[in-house]
Amino acid sequence: MYTVEIEHQCRCFKKSEYKSEKSFESQKDAYNYSNIVADFMNDEFCTEHLFSAQRVGENEFMIRVADNPNSASSCSTGSCSSDEDTTVGTSMFGTSCSTGSCGC
């Protein structure tokens, strides 16, 4: 069994039809799903975050979430939401919101 997980669920993700974890019988299906969802999220979700797919284990893929440095309302401008209870981990770019509460 192969799994695909989302690293951090911003408000846009929570409002979407996607689940934070999904399982697949084949590695190819998990790989394809993680890449397609990351691409879709970059195209269709808010512009505050960037999403990327990455293999993180033998049977696990992660959709990583990072602050978008090109966003006019990114964490670097101090516009983080305070009503979100999920902590943002260190992103693939090595930074995270100082409050851990970035939201879309």
Domain regions of the chain by residue span:
2-70
DSSP strands (E only) in the chain:
2-6, 21-24, 49-57, 60-67
Confidence of residue 19 (pLDDT cuts 50, 70, 90): confident
pLDDT tens, position by position, 65-94: 888 888 765 444 333 443 333 333 333 333
Closest C-alpha to 68, from 18, 21, 102: 102
Q: What percent of the chain has pLDDT over 90?
A: 38
